[in-house]
């Protein structure tokens, strides 16, 4: 009899809604701010793990950002873009499809993410590998929108989805400049094989000149550059991040 009662209690408990057990979005934001809140500027180099002559250089200063794909052997920029937040101000080559890399600075900012497609009040629990996570966000009827997966113990972003077609994983968090930052990024999308990249944090909270984000200087620097076809990995990443966030 006692065994039956216990079993019945467990079944009822398992079937009960768990929404009341989720931390508030404000609490999640506070803990993420504790981890990354004073990260105001950064510089990084991202390289394909499969080996390549290309390196993807990233600069971020608050909401300002700039990216450049550079051919290391020829010391030549093959693709570049700059903007602010989700807005793209200039692109080289002109007309190239591109988008900002999801920002490690902006990922801590739940209100910014909410303004760009994240429904932070919708939550569920799941695992990324063996790590328990809180998923913020849900897809709409057309499977659109973004979802942010936050490590439930470390309160760090470990995955972001854009609809059902694109997924970013951040792995191997280590301290860089006293901040926990990922050393690897894996992109999966368009029914393609996952593409892995290593991340080298070359500058944390460094002084980055405003000129680097100047649209006029950007356009002047590429005004005489000849237009060439983009390498496959550049086209893939540009397409992947294009329109990642809602405008």
Q: What's the average model confidence in pLDDT over 73-81?
A: 91
- pLDDT for 25 equals 77
DSSP 3-state of 43: strand
Q: The tokens of 154 are what? A: 């470390």
CB atoms within 10 A of CB 59: 21
Q: Give the residue among 81, 118, 101, 103 at the shortest CA–CA distance from 181.
A: 103
pLDDT digits (tens, 9 = 90+) for 197-247: 999 999 999 999 999 999 999 999 998 777 778 899 999 888 888 877 765
Long-range CB contact pairs, 23-29, < 8 A, 24+ = 23/134, 25/110, 25/120, 25/121, 25/123, 25/136, 28/110, 28/120, 28/134, 28/136, 28/150, 28/155, 29/108, 29/109, 29/110, 29/111
pTM for the predicted model, two decimal places: 0.84
pLDDT, tens digit, 9 for 90 and up, residues 233-243? 999 888 888 87
What pLDDT does residue 71 have?
Answer: 93
Q: How many CA atoms lie within 13 A of 1 on its CB side?
A: 0
Answer whether CATH 2.50.20 is correct for domain 39-241. yes
**Residue showing tokens 């500027």:** 41
pLDDT at 14 over 70: no
Residue pair 185/175 in contact by the 8 Å Cβ criterion: no
Question: Is residue 143 very low, low, confident or very high in pLDDT (cuts 50, 70, 90)?
Answer: low
- In sequence order, which residues have a C-beta less than 8 Å from that of residue 160 and are 6 or more positions away? 102, 107, 146, 147, 148, 149, 167, 168
Q: Structural domain boundaries of the chain?
A: 39-241
Cis peptide before 93 (omega within 30 of 0): yes
pLDDT (tens digit, 9 = 90+) per residue, 17-65? 344 477 887 788 788 878 877 888 999 999 998 878 999 999 999 889 9
């Amino acid at each position: 009899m006692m065994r039956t009662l216990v079993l019945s209690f467990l079944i009822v408990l398992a079937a009960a809604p768990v929404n009341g057990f989720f931390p508030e979005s404000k609490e999640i934001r506070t803990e993420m701010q504790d981890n990354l809140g004073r990260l105001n500027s950064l510089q990084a180099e991202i390289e394909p793990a499969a080996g390549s002559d290309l390196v993807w250089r990233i600069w971020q200063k608050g909401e300002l950002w700039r990216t450049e794909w550079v051919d290391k052997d020829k010391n030549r920029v093959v693709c570049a873009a700059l903007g602010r937040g989700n807005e793209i101000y200039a692109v080289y080559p002109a007309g190239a499809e591109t988008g900002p890399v999801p920002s490690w600075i902006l990922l801590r900012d739940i209100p910014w993410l909410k303004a760009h497609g994240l429904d932070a009040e919708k939550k569920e629990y799941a695992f990324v590998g063996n790590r328990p996570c809180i998923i913020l966000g849900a897809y709409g009827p057309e499977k659109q929108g973004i979802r942010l997966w936050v490590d439930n113990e470390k309160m760090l972003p470990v995955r972001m989805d854009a609809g059902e077609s694109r997924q970013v994983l951040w792995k191997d968090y280590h301290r860089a400049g006293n901040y926990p930052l990922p050393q690897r990024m894996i992109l999966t999308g368009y029914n393609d094989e996952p593409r892995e990249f290593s991340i080298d944090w070359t500058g944390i909270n460094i002084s980055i000149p405003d000129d680097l984000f100047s649209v006029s200087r950007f356009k002047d620097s590429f005004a005489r550059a000849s237009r060439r076809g983009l390498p496959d990995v550049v086209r893939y990443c540009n397409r992947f991040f294009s329109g990642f966030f809602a405008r």
